[in-house]
Amino acid sequence: MLKNLGITLAGVWLLLTGLISLIGLSFQGLSEIMAVLAIAAGVLMILQR
């Protein structure tokens, strides 16, 4: 599970980005949550190599 965590987080980020655009989801702190999720996915993918 931990081996694919970066890919999983990237997938979650992509799904959320699409859903946010599709249904117009918006709340305070959303951009920060998405940024942290993207950074975490990127770091984990880099560390797995």
- Please tell me the predicted confidence (pLDDT) of residue 3: 66
Distances (CA, A) of 14 to 18, 31, 39: 6, 14, 13
- Please tell me the predicted confidence (pLDDT) of residue 47: 87
DSSP state of 25: -
- Please tell me the predicted confidence (pLDDT) of residue 25: 83
Q: Which structure tokens are listed for 46?
A: 């880099």
* pLDDT tens digit sequence for 1-49: 566 888 888 999 999 999 999 998 888 999 999 999 999 999 988 888 6
- Please tell me the predicted confidence (pLDDT) of residue 26: 85
